[in-house]
Chains A and B, each alone.
Chain A
Amino acid sequence: MNSQIQPCIQVQNLTKKFRFWSDRPTSIKTVLVDSLRGKFKFGKKEQFTALEDVSFDIYPGEFVGIMGRNGAGKSTLLKLITGIYTPTSGSIQVNQAIAPLIELGAGFDGDLSGYENIFLNAAILGLGKNATEAALPEILDFSELADKIYMPVKNYSSGMLVRLGFSIAVNLPSPIVLVDEVLAVGDVGFQEKCIKKIRSLHSQGRTLVLITHSPIAVRQVCQRCIVIDHRKKVFDGAVEEGIQVYLKAVQS
């Protein structure tokens, strides 16, 4: 990797712990009743480590797959990168705008038409008016919805919904695209189109971070693979090797 280029995502010694209370009172009534009976407890404070000392850099233009079994800490990592969570210790620095595709069609409103939902969804993903309008023709074309775009989305089939969600997500101009397990949508024809679209992001110099369970998806689009297991980064490197490490971790 060229040392002249600044990484667009810098993760350093990232640790995330969740603190939670077991048996914590969730209503004021409980607090009052318990303290009257002299039994008031604020609950027991417990800690749970989701990620421990994870470091990696992602450079502009890289397509990185992050793999790990259920509960390994992938989603926590994703939410840390998007800024939904704040790190307990260590640092995470993202130098470009991110389109976080944690869920396709986040915030779609059933009563609004597909067209109106494009703007709503783009705004929710953090885009502005101009960027959305610029991407509009491409989104309409890619979704293959034609006239149905003016229909309320509650009348859409689930296939149509994911097609619209995916079209919005990949056609918005954010330099970093963060994808959580949403590559395989729609029928086979549309899936191939999606993969092709994702690959074309590469030629635009955009960065992709793909979080997935599927070795096939990683093989199809990524050039680098990071494996997270038991809260720690256990592998960072070539795709095929990474997949082997992942498969071993899953089977153990």
Chain B
Amino acid sequence: MKISDILTRLLGVDMFCLGKKFLVYNLVSRNLKTKYRRSVFGLFWTLLAPIAVTCIYYFVFKVILQIQVPHYSVFILSGVLPWTFFAQTLGEGMESIVGNWGLVSKVPIPIQVFPFVNAITNLSTLCLSIPVLLGAAWISGVPFGGAFLYLPFFIFALFFMTYCLSLSLAILFVYFRDFRHMLTIGLQLLFYGTPVLYDPIMIPQKYKWILDVNPIAYLFTGMHKILARGESPSPHEVLGVAFWSLVLFALSVLFQNKFGNEIVEKI
């Protein structure tokens, strides 16, 4: 028996679509092709948006509010890029099952394929923007060292948590369509409740608990440390990320087992 089979049997669901690799490959390449085929600048646009946003935040927070964070432009970029991935994947992933209803109701495809494919598509865009991030860090003079070895772990964790969350939301969205509006508000709240633009040391002591209840907080503080300071993340941050990954994973496996089979008969 292969590891993928054991994993599937253990969880009751093929969370990583290991039995559907060819399908995932084809759907991802479809997404990438249709996204970039008809635009002249193609990938350039997906990079331009975070860079433009970074310039705006830099002006507002560094020039006007005079925030004191070293390498602040890299700091923003290393927050904005993962955040863009996170927000976009959740938004698109949530609607992916309902949006592919024509397929789900006619061909036996496990429903988690759609959020998974969406997350992989966005991950490939994120990975292409990493050279830009590293380049910005280098130009800005961030010391390169062993800390950067943590980066793959954090990017994988970001992908993993986002996928698990978007799968859970996609299932909920089948039952409650007003999650669309709630997500917009929720993301706004989360954006400011997460150290994307600020450093956690700036948070007043009595609000520090926000970092502990926010599943993605340590993900961002860790990335900031690596990319904008060249420092290794603390064990506390690494464990926090691992802990929340497991919680979100368990949640999505639970959702999938509870509703995954009957969802096709709903709507």
Contacts and interface: CB of A to CB of B under 8 A. Distances in A.
A124 B264 contact: no
Nearest to A78: B106
B261 A125 contact: no
B27 A120 contact: yes
A111 B33 CA distance: 9
B42 to A, nearest CB: 14
Contacts of B22: 123, 127-129, 132
Interface string A200-231: 00000000000000000000000000000000
A53 interface: no
A38 to B, nearest CB: 21
A109 B107 contact: no
A26 interface: yes
B34 A123 contact: no
B30 interface: yes
Contacts of B265: 18, 85
A124 B103 contact: yes
Sorting the interface of chain B by its residue count into under 10, 10 to 19, 20 to 34 or 35 or more gives 20 to 34
B177 interface: yes
B182 interface: yes
Contacts of B179: 28
Contact of A102 (B107, B182, B261, B264): B107
B6 to A, nearest CB: 21
B37 interface: yes
Nearest to A25: B176
Contact of B109 (A86, A102, A124, A127): A124
A112 B36 CA distance: 12
B102 A106 contact: yes
B107 A120 contact: no
Select the residue from B176, B182, B261 with max chain A CB neighbours within 10 A.
Answer: B176
A86 B263 CA distance: 11
Contacts of A112: 30, 33-34
B178 A124 contact: no
Contact of A27 (B37, B176, B262): B176
A129 B22 CA distance: 6
A126 interface: yes
B26 interface: yes
A185 to B, nearest CB: 17
Interface string A1-41: 00000000000000000100000001111000000000000
A240 interface: no
A79 B261 CA distance: 13
Given A109-B34, A112-B33, A100 B108 contact: yes
B257 to A, nearest CB: 13
Contact of A83 (B23, B26, B37, B108): B108
A84 B105 contact: yes
Given A85-B265, A111-B38, A125 B107 contact: yes
A115 interface: no
A156 interface: no
A140 to B, nearest CB: 18
Contacts of B109: 124
B106 to A, nearest CB: 5
Contact of A28 (B107, B178, B262): B178
A190 interface: no
B125 to A, nearest CB: 18
B103 A126 contact: no
Given A102-B106, A120-B27, A123-B27, A86 B38 contact: no
Interface string B250-267: 000000000001101100
A109 B176 contact: no
A120 B176 contact: no
Contacts of A106: 102-103, 106-107
Interface in A52-105: 79, 82-86, 100, 102-103
Contacts of A107: 102-103, 107
A182 to B, nearest CB: 12
Given A85-B265, A103-B106, A112-B33, 19 more contacts: A27-B176, A28-B179, A29-B178, A84-B105, A86-B261, A111-B33, A111-B34, A111-B38, A112-B30, A112-B34, A116-B33, A119-B26, A123-B22, A123-B26, A123-B27, A124-B26, A124-B109, A126-B107, A129-B22
13 contacts: A18-B265, A27-B178, A85-B265, A107-B103, A111-B33, A112-B30, A112-B34, A120-B26, A120-B30, A124-B103, A125-B107, A126-B23, A132-B22
